[in-house]
Amino acid sequence: MKFNVLGALEMVTDDGRSLELNTSKTGQVIALLLVRCRETVSSDTLLEELWGQRLPRSARTTLQTYVYHARQMFDRELPGQAGHEVLVTRPPGYAILADEELVDSKRFERLVREGKGLLDAGRPEDAMARLDEALAMWHGPAFSGMALGRVLSAHLTHLCEVRIRAINLRIEVLRRLGFYQELVPELSSLVAFHPLNEHFHAQLIEALYKTGRRADALRAYQQLRTVLDQELGVEPAPEIRRLQYEVLNHGRYDEDRPTRGVAPRDRFDVPWGLRAKAG
């Protein structure tokens, strides 16, 4: 069996059947135990996820009922493997004893780590294969359709940040391989979905310039400047202003030109240190 949380919460049995787990509080319990599979999740943490600070009087008894329903589901869907063997009571709480490789979010994070390691080792093609496999595992927003409490919301934020990291790594792979033409449509889409992510804008400006689309690169800069001014009342980061100046001057950097304290850098050294924020 396999469990998926990168999209709708579902279980895929060994015979290929896909069972979408319900999005009730029983589903919340299963989802939280899956993203921390093989770890003991305390009853207090589960209670916080389900009800926050507004605990009903019967909260602990109701939680036990949700666990019971989850075990019944495992009993029905996993012949020969009792529910109490999958979802175990382990003081001070509960744990799902599934192999981490059976949970898509765990496999996703492993593949991203491997992709980063391969890129650092100078193996961009192998890194691309890992990153493509990782990103293909997403079939919609994680925990799609579920009402999330504070604990699962934190896990969602973490998974989204790792996904942004995987996208950035894939962009770096394409840059190292010189595939700027392939980067343009992908970066255009990313900019549309993450309009405040300056990192993606910088990559798009560079890719457009590298493919001979200087006017489009300058328009991309102006679009970024406009959205930052309208949404946040700020200018683009110094590194991106410098990148725009280089596009204007065909890659030349005038060290005598005032740059508001921006230190000279190699040509088109895109600001990789900028924090990638989801727009």
Residue ranges and CATH numbers for the domains of the chain are 9-99 (1.10.10.10), 180-254+265-273 (1.25.40.10)
What pLDDT is attached to residue 81? 61
d(CA 218, CA 178): 21
d(CA 47, CA 112): 31
What pLDDT is attached to residue 172? 96
Report, as ranges of residue numbers, the positions in the chain whose pLDDT lies below 70. 79-81, 252-279
Cα 44-48-49 angle, rounded to 5 deg = 120
d(CA 144, CA 8): 5
What pLDDT is attached to residue 23? 72
What pLDDT is attached to residue 80? 65
Burial environment of residue 201 by CB neighbours within 10 A (0 to 12, 13 to 18, 19 or more): buried
- Retrieve residue 38's tokens: 């093989």
What pLDDT is attached to residue 76? 83
pTM: 0.84
Integer angstrom CA distances of residue 247 from 17, 209, 213, 255: 54, 7, 10, 15
What pLDDT is attached to residue 257? 44
d(CA 180, CA 148): 39
What pLDDT is attached to residue 19? 87
Burial environment of residue 75 by CB neighbours within 10 A (0 to 12, 13 to 18, 19 or more): middle
CA dihedral over 140, 143, 144, 149, signed as positive or negative: negative
d(CA 166, CA 116): 8
Rg (CA), the chain: 23
d(CA 278, CA 273): 15
What pLDDT is attached to residue 262? 34
